[in-house]
Chains A and B, each alone.
Chain A
Amino acid sequence: MGRYILRRLAMAVPVLLGTTFIIYLAVYALPGDPIQALAGPGRVVSPSVAQVLRERHHLDDPLIVQYGFYLKGLLTGDMGVDFDGRPISEIVAAGWPVTFQLGVTAWLFEAVIGVLLGTLAGIRRGRAADLAVLGGTTLVMGVPFFVAAYVAQIVFGVNLGWLPASGTDAGWPLAYILPGLVLALYGLPQTARLTRTSVLENLHADHVDTAVAKGLPRRIVVARHIVRNSLIPVVSLLGVSLGYLLSGTVLIEGIFNLPGLGYQIFAAIPKHDGPVVVGIGSLLVLVFLLVNLIVDLLYGILDPRIRLR
């Protein structure tokens, strides 16, 4: 077990190297001049200021040299500074709690609502509840993410005034319910549908007959002998869907004005602020890798047959 964890952690190193490089490359390849973007459109930057900034951020060096400088800093614990001179580590420290709360809220929504809907649909296969879940998830999958975000803001935040439409002033959980729900829509349909399929597979398993023959009440048969067994594939889906969720925070924090990590990326991309995008982006990748490791360990608890290897 310990060795397995070590191996998985070691595997994260090349993955992180690769992702930082790809993100770095993507920022580098953005069209436009970062210095000009920083100053704002139409403003003239004096050549001497531009020169100083260029040298400080190694903007005149080839890509691979720039990336080398960046990595060197990263290995010595220095994530670099953004174009305004703020250390990235400071930005991360400020934004992390917001993104963490948003991510956890959305993940919980996705897991709880998805599993409940999927179970309901599976157990009532072919009946109204099942059709509603199948139709509803198809609809959700068809709606672009940002449309759902703006509609939710206008309807629940502005027109009905039930929940804050933007900002984090209301704190957790109130400020995070609406963005969390919209973010959860990313993975909710897949979670619900996979749960449904998995429940259907388990519904007529022999061991469920045993559970019934044991005289267990229906709710225990369903919860302990059908749903628990059905969760095994769902858990690994939830791990993977965290990746989508984290990438979704960029847009959601932008739209809902939540000052988290995603918001920083949202603001940094138009400014060509490479260190911010790469630093935070890679951090999110690291979180994704760690959570998936935890999920895989959890998998062994859910399914003892694959544990002792």
Chain B
Amino acid sequence: MLESLPGFDPAAPLLAVDDLHVEFGAARVVNGVGYAVEAGETLAILGESGSGKSVTARAIMGLVRPPRGRITAGAVRLRGVDLLRLPEESRRRLRATTVAMIFQDALSALNPVLPVGFQIAELFRVHRGLSRRQARARAVEVLDLVRIPAAAQRAGDYPHQFSGGMRQRVGIALAIALDPKVIIADEPTTALDVTVQAQIMRLLREIQREHGTALVLITHDMGVVADVADRVVVMYAGRVMEQAPAADVYARPAHPYTEALLGAIPRPHRRGRPLAVIPGAPPDPARPDPGCRFRQRCSYASEACEEAPEQVEIGPGRRTACHEWERVSGR
């Protein structure tokens, strides 16, 4: 399907976001975000609430639309095909078949008045042209795949009849049903308790390994990142601060914000002491600022930071947007 679209290039990255800008009214919530992910790879997008990580994901899926939000510049390419320049109908056909999304809160992300089996079967009917009966059978298979016990019976149940963990399995089932090449998971475990979180992450990992899917995992959980990510993109105030292989980020952060995030992880040896925080608050996205967006909260800030830093390549697969990165990484 992708092969026949304009701009297709088998050598291009599977998913590449390039210089994306998104505005909600006067608020510039995404300012030149770029990242890429390859088949079989897990890319973690790390950042606090309001950093633009979810908005970027929604822009990839085509869920940012006027009058509420506007993509003002940039490109979202799948093997070279720019989704933002495709006609809506072609774009629709790529959703769920090539790029799929798992939402944070499965309870509100599922239609409350339709049985879950029906909601999955819809995918097979619309994209594969299957009959109602065939589609239902496939939906049960998918529910089985995400290990929902007694899938055939449960397919007729409604979202409110499932527990939180089971519901997120249904959310995953929706995303994997058509075997997409890229899955974007927007904080898929945030709404779940810790034990269930681990099960869901394990399930996601297995599915990804079996199908060679690229996984874009949006999270603010550093622990999850350490467990599953191959590479990490750290976002702050609508910009990418740093991207690097996951191990490098933990071993030697090259951006003050990454360093501060790592410092805020509660650790056993700090028991009894106050939790570490990053002082200050994120800047107002409606107020333009020519300087580095993190400088007010940054312990490395210098005069150079009055001017926004460009991303620089500092190693294999490593980029940072900081004037003082050498001091941060101690080189």
Query: Taking beta carbons and an 8 Å cutoff, which residues of A are in contact with B?
Result: 204-207, 209-217, 220, 224-225, 228-229, 232, 302-305
B60-98 at interface with A (beta carbon < 8 Å): 61-63, 68, 92-97
Q: Give the number of residue pairs across the A-B interface with Cβ within 8 Å.
A: 74
With A206-B105, A209-B63 known as contacts, the answer to whether A215 contacts B111 (CB < 8 A) is no
Is B174 an interface residue, CB under 8 A from the partner? yes
Q: How far is the CA of A184 from the CA of B126 in the complex (A)?
A: 37
Interface residues on B, range: 20 to 34
With A215-B126, A220-B126 known as contacts, the answer to whether A210 contacts B95 (CB < 8 A) is no
Residue of B nearest to A307 (CB): B158
Q: B92 → chain A, closest Cβ, in Å? A: 5
Partner of A229, one of B94, B97, B112: B112
Is B236 an interface residue, CB under 8 A from the partner? no
Question: Which 6 A-B residue pairs are closest in the complex by CB-CB distance?
Answer: A215-B95, A206-B108, A207-B111, A215-B96, A304-B158, A210-B109
With A206-B109, A207-B112, A229-B113 known as contacts, the answer to whether A216 contacts B101 (CB < 8 A) is no
Q: How far is the CA of A220 from the CA of B100 in the complex (A)?
A: 18
Query: Taking beta carbons and an 8 Å cutoff, which residues of B are in contact with A?
Result: 58, 61-63, 68, 92-97, 100-101, 103, 105, 108-114, 122-123, 126-127, 158, 160, 174
Q: B185 → chain A, closest Cβ, in Å? A: 12
Instruction: Tell me whether B113 and A228 are in contact (CB under 8 A).
Output: yes
Instruction: Tell me whether A206 and B95 are in contact (CB under 8 A).
Output: no
Q: B129 → chain A, closest Cβ, in Å? A: 13
User: Can you list 11 A-B pairs with a CB-CB distance of less than 8 A?
Assistant: A212-B61, A213-B62, A213-B95, A213-B101, A214-B96, A215-B92, A225-B111, A303-B112, A303-B113, A304-B158, A305-B113
- Looking at A205, A213, A232, which has the most chain B CB atoms within 10 Å of its CB? A213
With A206-B105, A207-B112 known as contacts, the answer to whether A213 contacts B126 (CB < 8 A) is no
Q: A235 → chain B, closest Cβ, in Å? A: 12
Partner of A215, one of B68, B94, B109, B158: B94
Chain B positions within 8 Å of A212 at CB level: 61-63, 95
Residue of A nearest to B62 (CB): A212
Chain B positions within 8 Å of A302 at CB level: 113
Partner of A213, one of B96, B105, B108, B114: B96
Q: How far is the CA of A232 from the CA of B111 in the complex (A)?
A: 13
With A305-B158, A305-B160 known as contacts, the answer to whether A211 contacts B112 (CB < 8 A) is no
- Looking at A216, A225, A229, which has the most chain B CB atoms within 10 Å of its CB? A216
Instruction: Tell me whether A207 and B110 are in contact (CB under 8 A).
Output: yes
With A209-B103, A304-B158 known as contacts, the answer to whether A214 contacts B95 (CB < 8 A) is yes
Instruction: Tell me whether A210 and B110 are in contact (CB under 8 A).
Output: yes
Q: B301 → chain A, closest Cβ, in Å? A: 38
Partner of A214, one of B112, B158, B174: B174
Q: How far is the CA of A302 from the CA of B123 in the complex (A)?
A: 22
Q: How far is the CA of A261 from the CA of B127 in the complex (A)?
A: 53
Residue of B nearest to A206 (CB): B108
Q: How far is the CA of A304 from the CA of B159 in the complex (A)?
A: 10
Chain A positions within 8 Å of B62 at CB level: 212-213
Chain B positions within 8 Å of A215 at CB level: 92-97, 123, 126-127
Chain A positions within 8 Å of B123 at CB level: 214-215
| Apart from the given pairs A215-B95, A305-B158, 9 other A-B contacts in the complex at a CB distance below 8 Å | A207-B108, A210-B103, A213-B95, A213-B101, A217-B92, A220-B122, A224-B114, A303-B112, A304-B160
Chain A positions within 8 Å of B112 at CB level: 207, 229, 303-305
Q: How far is the CA of A224 from the CA of B126 in the complex (A)?
A: 13
Chain A positions within 8 Å of B160 at CB level: 304-305
Residue of A nearest to B123 (CB): A214
Chain B positions within 8 Å of A303 at CB level: 112-113
Instruction: Tell me whether A207 and B122 are in contact (CB under 8 A).
Output: no
Chain B positions within 8 Å of A305 at CB level: 112-113, 158, 160
Residue of A nearest to B171 (CB): A210
With A206-B105, A207-B109, A209-B109 known as contacts, the answer to whether A216 contacts B158 (CB < 8 A) is no
Residue of B nearest to A229 (CB): B113
Chain A positions within 8 Å of B111 at CB level: 207, 210-211, 225, 229
Chain A positions within 8 Å of B127 at CB level: 215
Instruction: Tell me whether A206 and B94 are in contact (CB under 8 A).
Output: no
Q: How far is the CA of A224 from the CA of B61 in the complex (A)?
A: 20
Chain A positions within 8 Å of B93 at CB level: 215
Chain A positions within 8 Å of B61 at CB level: 212-213
Residue of A nearest to B88 (CB): A218
Instruction: Tell me whether B126 and A217 are in contact (CB under 8 A).
Output: yes
Q: A303 → chain B, closest Cβ, in Å? A: 6
Q: How far is the CA of A210 from the CA of B171 in the complex (A)?
A: 9
Q: How far is the CA of A209 from the CA of B100 in the complex (A)?
A: 12
Chain A positions within 8 Å of B58 at CB level: 209
Instruction: Tell me whether A213 and B110 are in contact (CB under 8 A).
Output: no
Q: How far is the CA of A302 from the CA of B114 in the complex (A)?
A: 9
Chain B positions within 8 Å of A206 at CB level: 103, 105, 108-109
Q: How far is the CA of A287 from the CA of B160 in the complex (A)?
A: 34
- Looking at B62, B110, B113, which has the most chain A CB atoms within 10 Å of its CB? B113
Residue of A nearest to B65 (CB): A212
Chain A positions within 8 Å of B68 at CB level: 204
